[in-house]
């Protein structure tokens, strides 16, 4: 029972970060019907940003999130304005090529600057943990979970209560109708891509004390984000939150009860099962 | 107030609108009637800038609007209630109405406008918290019109508001359009329901394969032999 609760808690903690990555991807998809294949690479840039703020300026990774969030937002907004807005009406394969290309440029640029060596961001608390009801909880993961929960709550408030948040939802539900109501959909797309990038970058910042940092880490997370989003239902923020946590728990359980080498298998089996029995995702609506 | 001159438009190689001239004066209901595929909806899409015309000008109170983006057209005071209603399905009635007052000039009197459209459509007040996508066709049409009014328009463009409604509801919708006009709204109404729309309109245009073939007062068009033969089966 202890082992079970232990792996459940660890899974939930990492699942929160996965949820952030998935929510970012799902917002971008919802508004623009574009799958951002550079998502993991944007997360990787968030990791390097955090790493450098820590090694060069000595800012704690959980404090530097306050810097990472706006910088990554601007980075994403710029990508949208300069590149993605141009292909909104293009063929899907061209959109895919564009985002894959952007991702390759990002990872190779980072490789040129920082080489492909693995970097480790070691804080005083990187490997410390505390006990709660006999369960050992990693301190950096616990802090990142609290930040994640805060960001997610803020995001829900933004989408449900503010005019801009509602306008982004409206754009996702019917782009033409949104335009006819006077909503500047190009601007909403820029904000949406900014938000998505900001969430990915933040997730990168939050896991940087516990993960190796290297330029090619992105692709693993793009795939993970994609699985999370499809699992939860494309375009559903609640679905991505649920999907992220589910994947986190599945990985953690798989590692404990089968073997750590098999944890990805558990995730993909779960993914296939959902695709077979509910192709629109857990909270997704089937599209005609 | 709203003036279209020599408007030409084509979808790639297919020419849809030929030298359209049309004018709507302040306080009027002007209707554009014609059969399916005559180019009525395309004309409205040109006004709302969802598509770009090949040539011609569109002006609102003398100001050219055919260089603007869609959202700027709404800011200038032209709102379109699109064909098929296009309400936001995953948003409540109130949220849909809030989106109607997204533009800055409409935000100031948002609450006042919500009260106004609730008076016009008491049914919407009852359904305030219901998701748009779960409402009936008639209710969705009311919501679509109400959402359009939330933008404080100078001109209201209605695209086939009676489409897919039961005969009773069709009568209702036309009554409401007349009522909105009586309160001072200028309306450009595009319809396949030729009889009902000519009956309530001050003036009408008959569109056939992308050309204006007839124009005149609503009642005169109703009595026109060509209209009676082509559209009313008399």
pLDDT at residue A277, rounded to an integer:
86
Domain termination residue (choose one: B112, B136, B152): B152
Pick the more confident residue, A270 or A74.
Answer: A74
- Inter-chain CB proximity B88 and A180 less than 8 Å: no
Instruction: Give the separation between CA B74 and CA B29, rounded to whole angstroms.
Output: 19
> Which of B95, B121, B152 is at the close of a domain?
B152
CB contact under 8 A, A181 and B102: yes
Q: How far apart are CA A88 and CA B141, in angstroms?
A: 29
Pair (B159, B94) in one structural domain: no
Confidence bin at A286 (pLDDT 50/70/90): low
Parse chain A into domains and list their residue ranges.
2-277
At A94, list the tokens. Answer: 């061209």
**Which residue among B102, B127, B152 closes a domain?**
B152
Region B162-166: what's the mean pLDDT? 91
pLDDT in tens, A210-232: 899 999 999 989 999 999 999 88
What's the mean pLDDT in A15-20?
94
Q: Do B79 and A183 touch (CB under 8 A)?
A: no
Query: Which pLDDT tens digit goes with each residue over A36-67?
Result: 999 999 999 999 999 999 999 889 999 999 99
Give per-residue burial for B88-103: e unless 16+ CB within 10 Å, then b.
bbbbbbbbbbbbbbbb
| Three-state secondary-structure class, residue B91 | coil
**Mean pLDDT score, B109-136:** 94
Q: Scan residues 268-287 of A and list those with Cβ closer than 8 Å to B.
A: none
Q: What percent of chain A shows pLDDT beyond 70?
A: 99
What digits encode the pLDDT tens for the residues A173-185? 999 999 999 999 9
Read off the pLDDT of each residue in B204-231 and give the average, rounded to a whole number: 92
Average pLDDT of B151-158?
A: 96
pLDDT of residue A28: 95
Q: In whole angstroms, what is the distance from residue B61 CA to residue B151 CA?
A: 18
A176, B86: Cβ pair inside 8 Å? yes
Half-sphere exposure for B68 (CA within 13 Å, toward CB):
26
B175 in the same domain as B59: yes
Percentage of chain A surpassing pLDDT 90? 65
Residue B86 has its nearest CB partner, among A167, A174, A183, at A174
Burial class (CB in 10 A: 0-12, 13-18, 19+), A111: middle
Please name which of A10, A3, A47, A2 lies closest in space to residue A250, comparing C-alpha atoms.
Answer: A10
Give pLDDT tens digits for A79-135: 999 999 999 888 989 999 999 999 999 999 999 999 888 988 888 887 788 888 888
What pLDDT, in 10s, does the model give residues A220-277? 899 999 999 998 888 889 999 999 999 999 999 988 888 888 888 888 888 888 888 8
> CA A110 to CA A117: how far, in whole Å?
11
Facing residue for A167 by CB, picked from B90, B99, B151:
B99
A184 touching chain B per CB within 8 A: yes
Within this chain, do residues B229 and B163 fall inside the same structural domain, yes or no? yes
Map tokens 């239902």 to a residue.
A233
Give the end-to-end CA distance of chain B in Å, rounded to a whole number: 34
Are A183 and B86 in contact (CB < 8 Å)? no
Contacts of B47 in chain A (CB under 8 A): none
B6 and B69 co-located in one domain: yes
Q: Does A58 touch chain B (CB under 8 A)?
A: no
Does B110 share its domain with B204? no
Strands B29-33 and B186-191: parallel
Which CATH number belongs to the domain containing residue B217 in this structure?
A: 3.40.50.300
Average pLDDT, chain B: 94
Per-residue pLDDT at A288: 37
DSSP A104-150: HHHHHHHHHHH-S--B----TTTT-EEEETTEEEEHHHHHHHHHHHH
pLDDT for B36 equals: 86
What is the pairing mode between strands B14-24 and B2-11? antiparallel
Same domain, B65 and B160: yes
Residue numbers of the domain that contains B138: 84-152
Q: What is the tally of structural domains in chain B?
A: 2
Q: Does residue A185 belong to the interface with chain B, where contact is any CB pair within 8 Å?
A: yes
Chain B residue closest to A181 (CA)? B100
Is A287's pLDDT higher than 60? no
CB-CB under 8 Å, A167 with B70:
no
Can you say how many angstroms the Cα of residue B61 is from the centroid of all Cα atoms in its chain? 18
| CA distance from start to end of chain A | 45
């Amino acid at each position: 029972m202890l082992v079970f609760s232990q792996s459940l808690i660890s899974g939930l903690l990492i699942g929160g970060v996965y949820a952030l990555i998935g929510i970012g991807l799902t917002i971008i998809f919802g508004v623009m019907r574009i799958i951002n294949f550079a998502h993991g690479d944007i997360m990787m840039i968030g990791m390097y940003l955090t790493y450098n703020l820590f090694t060069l300026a000595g800012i704690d990774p959980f404090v530097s999130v306050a810097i990472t969030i706006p910088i990554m937002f601007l980075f994403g907004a710029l990508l949208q304005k300069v590149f993605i807005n141009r292909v909104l009406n293009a063929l899907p394969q061209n959109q895919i090529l564009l985002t894959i290309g952007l991702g390759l440029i990002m990872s190779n640029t980072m490789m040129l600057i920082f080489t492909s060596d693995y970097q480790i961001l070691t804080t005083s608390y990187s490997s410390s943990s505390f006990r709660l009801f006999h369960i050992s909880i990693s301190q950096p993961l616990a802090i990142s979970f609290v930040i994640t929960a805060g960001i997610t709550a803020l995001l829900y408030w933004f989408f449900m209560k503010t005019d801009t948040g509602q306008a982004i939802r409206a754009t996702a539900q019917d782009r033409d109708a949104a335009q006819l109501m006077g909503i500047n959909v190009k601007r909403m797309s820029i904000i949406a891509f900014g938000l998505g990038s900001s969430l990915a970058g933040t997730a990168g910042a939050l896991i940087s004390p516990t993960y190796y940092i290297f330029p090619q880490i992105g692709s693993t997370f793009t795939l993970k984000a994609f699985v999370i989003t499809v699992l939860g239902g494309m375009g559903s923020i609640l679905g991505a939150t649920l999907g992220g946590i589910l994947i986190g728990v599945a990985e953690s359980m798989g590692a404990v009860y089968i073997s750590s080498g098999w944890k990805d298998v558990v995730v993909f089996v779960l993914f296939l099962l959902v695709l077979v029995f509910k192709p629109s995702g857990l909270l997704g609506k089937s599209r005609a | 107030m709203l003036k279209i001159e020599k408007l030409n438009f084509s979808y790639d190689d297919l020419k849809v609108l030929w030298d359209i001239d049309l004018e709507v004066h302040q306080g009027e209901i002007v209707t554009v009637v014609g059969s399916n595929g005559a180019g009525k909806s395309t004309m409205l899409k040109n006004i709302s800038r969802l598509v770009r015309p090949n040539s011609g000008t569109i002006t609102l109170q003398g100001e050219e609007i055919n260089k603007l983006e869609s959202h700027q057209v709404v800011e200038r005071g032209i709102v379109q209630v699109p064909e098929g209603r296009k309400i936001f399905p995953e948003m409540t009635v109130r949220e849909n109405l809030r989106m109607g007052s997204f533009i800055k000039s409409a935000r100031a009197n948002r609450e006042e406008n919500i009260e106004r459209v609730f008076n016009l459509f008491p049914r919407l007040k009852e359904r305030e918290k219901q998701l748009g996508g779960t409402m009936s066709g008639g209710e969705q049409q009311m919501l679509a019109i109400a959402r359009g009014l939330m933008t404080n328009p100078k001109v209201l463009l209605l695209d086939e508001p009676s489409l897919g409604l039961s005969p009773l509801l069709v009568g209702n919708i036309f009554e409401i359009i007349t009522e909105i006009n009586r309160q001072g709204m200028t309306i450009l109404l595009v319809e396949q329901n030729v009889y009902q729309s000519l009956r309530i309109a001050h003036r009408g245009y008959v569109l056939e394969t992308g050309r204006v073939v007839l124009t005149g007062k609503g009642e005169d068009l109703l009595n026109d032999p060509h209209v009676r033969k082509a559209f009313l089966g008399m």
